[in-house]
Amino acid sequence: MAWWGTFIGGTLGFVFGGPLGALVGAALGGNFDRGISMGDRIDMGSQERVQAAFFTTTFSVMGHIAKADGHVSAHEISAAKNIMAQMQLSEAQRKAAIKFFDQGKADDFPLEDVLHQFKKECHRRRNLIQMFVEIQISTAMADGKVDDSEKHILYTIGNILGFSGEQIDHLFSIANGAQASASDSLTLDQAYEILGISKDSSEAEMKKAYRRLMSQHHPDKLVAKGLPDEMIALATEKTQEIRKAYDTIKKSL
């Protein structure tokens, strides 16, 4: 939580500047104003800066996707709250997350500008950015379906952040498998989809795919790249789902 202490150490909108700075300033500046003038900048360490950007972007974009079909469903609100609960946020962090979520629902939310700045703040940390996309997909699927407007935004997000349509398809497969895994109804076909391999793949190819995915989602590696400590439970859950898919395939051989 060290990043959070630094994050609220001054008038937060001046940490980043740009669209992220505007989001932070609008959500928290009034509550945590320490009298920093608009010409000042708070110098955050690179790691803390990335963590703050990840937190801000995650919840604001989550709100934007939830509003994509014109209204925010109870399932989508519940999914956002579940993520907050998994993160064991402090009361101040929870309130901040809700404010970012609400800002994302605004009709004039600058999605592309926010994503471009987020990508820049992440300094091409590919696995970290992928985790962000996976969180957005999982949240969109919380009500059991993803309508065309939500899907369009999710693929737009992926494109802006450097993912191909095929790669986003695979992340959807992982999210579908995760839901099945959580309900203990993971099928063999879904297990293969999670690993991104076919039934004709060799055992060596299966192991390679498994190890690659485990490396991409390794909690310690993601935190080292800038995932907020509070989100380590989300990364751990992903590795459990990948391991379950791998074990399901192994048992079938």
pLDDT tens per residue, the chain (253 residues)?
456 665 655 444 446 778 988 888 887 764 433 333 333 444 455 778 888 899 999 999 999 998 887 777 787 788 888 888 887 888 888 888 999 999 999 999 999 999 999 999 998 799 999 999 999 998 888 777 788 999 999 999 999 999 999 999 999 988 887 777 766 778 999 999 999 999 999 999 999 999 999 999 999 999 888 898 888 888 898 899 999 999 999 999 8
Longest dimension (CA), the chain: 65
Token pair, residue 77, equals 């609100």
What is the predicted pLDDT for the residue at 45?
53
What is the predicted pLDDT for the residue at 186?
86
CB atoms within 10 A of CB 211: 12
Q: Are 43 and 15 spatial neighbours (Cβ–Cβ below 8 Å)?
A: no
What is the predicted pLDDT for the residue at 6?
58
d(CA 245, CA 163): 23
- Domain count for the chain: 1
d(CA 94, CA 99): 9
Three-state DSSP class for 231? helix
What is the predicted pLDDT for the residue at 72?
79
CA dist list (Å): 189 to 122, 149, 178 = 34, 27, 13
What residue type is 92 in one-letter code? Answer: A
Looking up tokens 């937190």, which residue turns up?
Answer: 55
Q: Are 58 and 118 spatial neighbours (Cβ–Cβ below 8 Å)?
A: no
User: What range does the domain containing 192 cover?
Assistant: 2-252
> In degrees rounded to 5, what are phi and psi of residue 78?
-65, -40
What is the predicted pLDDT for the residue at 10?
46
